[in-house]
Amino acid sequence: MKFGIIVFPGSNCDDDCRYVLHNVLGQEAFFLWHKSQDINGADCLILPGGFSYGDYLRCGAMAAQSPIMKSVKNFANSGGLVLGICNGFQILQEARLLPGVLMRNKTLKFICRNVYLRVEHAQSPFTKACRRGEVLRIPIAHADGNFYMEKKSLKKIIERGQVLFRYSNEDGAISSESNPNGSLENIAGITNEDGNVCGMMPHPERCSETILGNRDGVKIFESIIRSLEGRKI
């Protein structure tokens, strides 16, 4: 499979994503500069974490206006798989490819630590390698990860099955104590209505090798690969 990893000024997890996809999982993975509009035949696009444009204005607001985002929108609207991680999630929201907003953490502090995520749906292209209700341990590193949207829209995305991950404890229980940033409904990751665009705040690329002490994150990438292989049959 061919993975295009979009690099914005200030991206800092692009190499991590490429390493996991190419070195760990043996896939073709390459960088796409934000000023280009050519996605080079990618089967999946990844918007990595970092601090695009230094997080000026709002996180992701300037990156959402980059030339390549027109191609990302066209790709997503045609059913292509798009994954936004942390700052990539913020960019997808600013580009109106995902609903809601990500506000400042409830603590008003940057948080960098491992958290537990409960997988809400295992039929998504991004969770096919997981079980429904499975708990993953994946690190977060953000200051603006507090998911918010107005109540009617929140109810709709829950009913449509767009909530993909929720912050939980090790046993999968959802509570305010397991919510690191104040996100409504403990939401850590969502999809668009069609299910082909995903945004998640935790960083699966940072926990995809045994040497790092945890391989839970590799399941996200394995899920995408399975989904793409199914499309090619």
**144-158 residue pLDDT tens:** 999 999 999 999 999
Q: Which DSSP helix (H) or strand (E) runs through 82?
A: strand 81-85
pLDDT of residue 148: 98
Say how far apart CA 7 and CA 15 lie, in whole Å: 10
Q: Could you tell me the pLDDT band of residue 57, with boundaries at 50, 70 and 90?
A: confident
Residue type, 134: E
Beta-bridge mates of residue 146: 103
Q: Could you tell me the pLDDT band of residue 142, with boundaries at 50, 70 and 90?
A: very high
Q: What is the mean pLDDT of residues 202-229?
A: 96
Q: What is the mean pLDDT of residues 205-227?
A: 96
Q: Which DSSP helix (H) or strand (E) runs through 159?
A: helix 151-159
Q: Could you tell me the pLDDT band of residue 165, with boundaries at 50, 70 and 90?
A: very high
- From residue 219, alpha-carbon distances to 25, 126, 201, 204, 226 in Å are 11, 8, 16, 8, 10
Say how far apart CA 81 and CA 151 lie, in whole Å: 27
pLDDT of residue 230: 85
Sign of the alpha-carbon torsion through 94, 99, 100, 104: negative
Checking if the pLDDT of 132 tops 90, the result is yes
Say how far apart CA 73 and CA 96 lie, in whole Å: 9
pLDDT of residue 233: 57
Q: What is the mean pLDDT of residues 102-123?
A: 97
pLDDT of residue 180: 98
Cα diameter, the chain:
48
Say how far apart CA 116 and CA 78 lie, in whole Å: 33
Q: What is the mean pLDDT of residues 95-124?
A: 97
Residue type, 53: Y
Say how far apart CA 220 and CA 206 lie, in whole Å: 12
Say how far apart CA 46 and CA 83 lie, in whole Å: 5
pLDDT of residue 231: 79
Q: What is the mean pLDDT of residues 177-193?
A: 98
Say how far apart CA 135 and CA 186 lie, in whole Å: 14
Closest by alpha carbon to 52, among 17, 4, 16, 87? 87
Q: Which DSSP helix (H) or strand (E) runs through 29?
A: strand 28-33
- Active site (catalytic) residues: 86, 203, 205
